[in-house]
């Protein structure tokens, strides 16, 4: 699969969060998140491993109760079923890869 950038196809699962599956295959899905300053993504967990990269902006990730400030160029990998959440300090663009595929993110 090859995917070209477009501003269409974003979902808004929560206030201050826009996401779009940008590319996927049998085992992984890559998503772009556009996060609005001041919003909080509540702690949650899911069975998917989640690897992320900050393109722009600034967030605070909370993973198993530990806080990590993430800025452009920073990255992480969160194992499946590990509680995590985030606070958006600046408008941010985040790229995340999930394995297995997040079916709920597919168009």
Written as one string, the DSSP assignment of 31-76 is EEEEE-TT-EEEEE--SSEEEEEEEEEEEEEEETTEEEEE-TT-EE
Query: What integer pLDDT is reported at residue 10 of this predicted model?
Result: 97
pLDDT (tens, 9 = 90+) of the chain, 107 residues, equals 899 999 999 999 999 999 999 999 999 999 999 999 999 999 999 999 999 999 999 999 999 989 999 999 999 999 999 999 999 999 999 999 999 999 999 99
In a domain, 23, yes or no: yes
Q: What is the pTM of this model?
A: 0.94
The range of the structural domain enclosing residue 98 comes to 12-105
- With respect to residue 57, please indicate whether it lies within any of the assigned structural domains: yes
| Residue 3 within any structural domain of the chain | no
In a domain, 61, yes or no: yes
Task: Please indicate, yes or no, if residue 63 is contained in any of the structural domains.
Answer: yes
Domain tally, the chain = 1
């Amino acid at each position: 699969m090859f995917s070209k950038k477009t501003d269409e196809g974003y979902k808004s699962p929560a206030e201050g969060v826009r996401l779009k599956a940008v590319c996927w295959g049998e085992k992984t899905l890559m998503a772009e998140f556009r996060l609005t300053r001041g919003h909080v993504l509540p702690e949650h967990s899911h069975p998917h491993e989640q690897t992320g990269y900050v393109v722009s902006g600034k967030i605070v990730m909370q993973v198993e109760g530990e806080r990590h400030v993430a800025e452009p160029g920073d990255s992480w990998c969160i194992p499946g079923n590990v509680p995590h959440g985030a606070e958006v300090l600046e408008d941010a663009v985040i790229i995340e890869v999930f394995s297995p595929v997040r079916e709920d993110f597919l168009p």
